[in-house]
Structure 1
Amino acid sequence: MGRKVVEFRLSPDDVSAVRFGISPGHELVHAVRVLTRPAQHPLQWSWARRVGPQVHGPAVDLLRLVVGTTGYVPDFLTSTPGWDVTPDDESERLRHAPLGGMAIDLGKRVARTDGATQAALRALLDDLPRTRDAVADAWTEVWDAALAPWWPQVERLLRADVQVRARRIATHGLAAMVGTLHERVGWQGSSVLVELVHHAEVVDCAGSGLVLAPSVLARQCAAVTERPAQPTLHYPALAVSERWSEAAADAQDALTDLLGHGRAAVLLALDQELSTSEVAAACALAVSTASHHLAVLRAARLVAARRDGRRVVHERTPLGLMLVAG
């Protein structure tokens, strides 16, 4: 079967509105798929071995039914990726998902299945309010067991990827950055082209821009094209190896061996922008000690400082993000 192409056509307004986002819902959807067919996801074997025994029962069975094993993902399960979207935001949004959209999405899953799976999906359509509550409860239960313990590490990898991509846009331009997203993503004229297996479409972004969303759990590209959803391209994040989940447990020890306890603690504390005094408080250090560690980390290009009004705040550089991400 030949591959098909989704073309995101960008006007000048769209180019200025290209942005990055993170989607906890997208990660959970693909976590469920990994746990359903782990043999097909070698980069996730370590994570799957750790989490598999913890995830079982009716909750994961329901999500497996709704998500499927490959291809189409029901849109109501995920929101538009954003820089500040949290798992709690995603869970709360799901509890209030429009029933009309759910009916359309589940209808698409019905059309793509047969036999007992199709009958089970039809049963979900018979009582949508109850289905929405059950799916939202299952989302929370599976998230807590499968991804919550690893989410800080997943988020570090996602944010590190975005920082690297943003730096490439600044130094080489948008077209050059797009060409590095994946071997099946390219730039032509003023369009982003994505080669897919089952879907071909020309999408006029119509001034709304395009959201680029890295993923740790999904190792192939996916395109969201149907309105009212925001045009979105999901792509595999950088620096995801078969040991990414082990890094979540070992990151602090490894950084401590490399940098020393104080500087490792400071670098790990910078999950958000912090002033020197805030770093000192978070790490239980004297302000002078925190200041010294920050100066050393800045000299090593692991941390950057900028003025925010009357105060100076510190954040990880792309290099610092990648180091913390393992």
Structure 2
Amino acid sequence: MDRNFVDFRLAADDLRAIRFGISPGHELCHAVRVLQRPEGHPMQWGWLRGVRGRLPRDAFELLADVIGVDGYFPDFLTSTPAWDTTPDDEAARLREVSIEQVRFDLHKMVLRSSGARQRRILDLIDDPVPARERLADACLLVWGAALEPVWPQLERILRADIAVRARRIASDGIAATVGALHASVSWSGDAVRVQLRRFSDTIDCRGSGLVLVPSVFGGSGCNVLTEEGVQPTLFYPAQGVTERWARDQVGVADALGALLGETRARILLTAHAARTTSQVAADLGLAISTASHHLAVLRDGGLVTSTRAGARMLHERTPLGEALVGGAG
């Protein structure tokens, strides 16, 4: 049996070329696929029960046409993932994608479709400027109905996965960390190698680097971005995804509250971005002295890090804190 590999070649001495990111757009595209074929995604059934009745029909059908049910989907629907990429970033970026890329990617989908669906994609290509706006609007509508309600849970799982992987790089090295991403991924000399079903390529990442992106909705396999002009990216299955991942936010807060105490749990849950002591106090309705005390306890436990930025002290979750909140979800 033929084996297909994509090799992301890196400079052997530049481990900084590998970094992690988050892609709300990638999650949205795969969520659209899950909704089209729910029987193949049992880990998402808990999420599906809460979303099926509130989907905006026209917006969903437009995305379903463009994304399809398997294989390639347009690269312009996913941004260059970064640690701090937000859904709002994705929407703004999508409206600025070049018309040339929209046409190029949609032509690929024409080759992967037929009948009425193919004709609808051709109509988008014929008038790409309004098509880009329609797609951006559709993404916002479907995101708001399907993923926005569970984004806190999704984001915790993704950040916890990254935190655990980053910690492993420090302890075990890059080769062991890459090899543990998925059974189809390995470290091969100066390259990250990914075995795929239908596609082979060698990508020179020297200068651009490689972004590793965990995914909850991407299923049990890996996906790649390899086109010229697109940031080389490897999407892999996130750790800790169970059929209960989409449970209510209150349940997660209760679980952490039982472990840490309600106030410290609330501080930890909101510490995914760096904030000052005053901001923490104001957000949670605490006295500054009380917030400072709880932050000190979380810092002593290795769950929060505090760094000085000029006259301000900024507090943020550590990798251990990310793993804890991700595990609670």
TM-score by length of 1: 0.94
Superposition pairs of residues 65-144 of structure 1, within 5 angstroms: 65-144=65-144
Q: Specify every segment of 5 or more residues in structure 1 that has no aligned partner in the other structure, as ranges.
A: none
Deviation at 1:306, TM superposition (A): 2.9
Q: Match of 1:246, SS?
A: coil
**Are the counterparts in 2 of residues 269 and 283 from structure 1 also a CA contact under 8 Å?**
no
User: 1:179 aligns to what?
Assistant: 179
Report % sequence identity. 54
User: 1:160 aligns to what?
Assistant: 160
TM-score by length of 2: 0.93
**Are the counterparts in 1 of residues 56 and 145 from structure 2 also a CA contact under 8 Å?**
no
User: 1:307 aligns to what?
Assistant: 308
AA aligned to 1:223 is V
Deviation at 1:284, TM superposition (A): 1.3
Q: Distance in 2 between matches of 1:34 and 1:298?
A: 39
Deviation at 1:3, TM superposition (A): 4.1
> CA, structure 1 residues 281+258, in 2 after alignment: closer, same or farther (shift >3 Å)?
same
Q: Distance in 2 between matches of 1:230 and 1:141?
A: 26
Superposition pairs of residues 214-253 of structure 1, within 5 angstroms: 214-219=214-219, 220-246=221-247, 248-253=249-254
Deviation at 1:158, TM superposition (A): 1.4
Deviation at 1:249, TM superposition (A): 4.3
Q: Specify every segment of 5 or more residues in structure 2 that has no aligned partner in the other structure, as ranges.
A: none
Residues 1:190 and 2:184 are matched in the alignment:
no
User: 2:50 aligns to what?
Assistant: 50
Deviation at 1:177, TM superposition (A): 0.9
User: 2:267 aligns to what?
Assistant: 266
Deviation at 1:237, TM superposition (A): 1.3
Deviation at 1:247, TM superposition (A): 5.1
Residues 1:148 and 2:148 are matched in the alignment:
yes
Residues 132-158 of structure 1, C-alpha deviations (whole Å, 9 max, x = no match): 121111111101111111112211221
Q: Distance in 2 between matches of 1:75 and 1:125?
A: 15
AA aligned to 1:277 is S
**Are the counterparts in 2 of residues 13 and 207 from structure 1 also a CA contact under 8 Å?**
no
Q: How many residues are aligned here? A: 326
> CA, structure 1 residues 129+94, in 2 after alignment: closer, same or farther (shift >3 Å)?
same
Q: Distance in 2 between matches of 1:277 and 1:157?
A: 27
